[in-house]
Every structure is written in structure tokens, then in C-alpha cells.
Amino acid sequence: MAKKDVEDLLVAGGEDKGLRAKYDVPATMEEFVALAAADGYNFTVDELDAVLKESGDVFEKNGNPPKRSIWWT
């Protein structure tokens, strides 16, 4: 279930520019997971990390303004 919640959030962010912007703010995975929990997504830092590694995505931000490239479209 937790892996599905990570995937659901990554898909939702891929479809919603506002959601992407909201989740580009947290500096750490812990803050990201806490924000996700407040929005009803239930997963841990380890589960987030595992899904990102499986998909070849990197959590760090790039660009100006800094953005994450983890969102699935």
C-alpha cells in the first residue's frame, strides 16, 4: 500500500502543477514525507527512496527556481 501511495503522489504531481510546486518546497525527504502524510499519503522515507531508485529518479532539486524531477506524467 505504501508503495502505491508514493506512486499515486508522483502521478498526481505529474498532472498538477500546483501540487508539484507545493512538494518542491520541502528541503528534506523527512519534510516531504510529513507534507505527504498531511495530504493523506502514507509512506516512509525508505519507501519513497525505494520507489525513486526503482524509477531512476533523484530527489534533489535542480534549476532556478529549484524543482524536483520526480513527477510522473
What is the pTM (predicted TM-score) of this model? 0.94
Sorted by where each begins, the domain ranges of the chain are 2-68
Q: What is the pLDDT of residues 28-66, one digit of tens each?
A: 999 999 999 999 999 999 999 999 999 999 999 999 999
Calculate the alpha carbon distances from 71 to 6, 14, 17, 43, 53 in Å: 11, 5, 10, 16, 13
pLDDT at 9 (0 to 100): 98
Radius of gyration of the chain (CA): 11
pLDDT at 58 (0 to 100): 96
**Does 1 have pLDDT greater than 80?**
no
**Does 70 have pLDDT greater than 90?**
yes
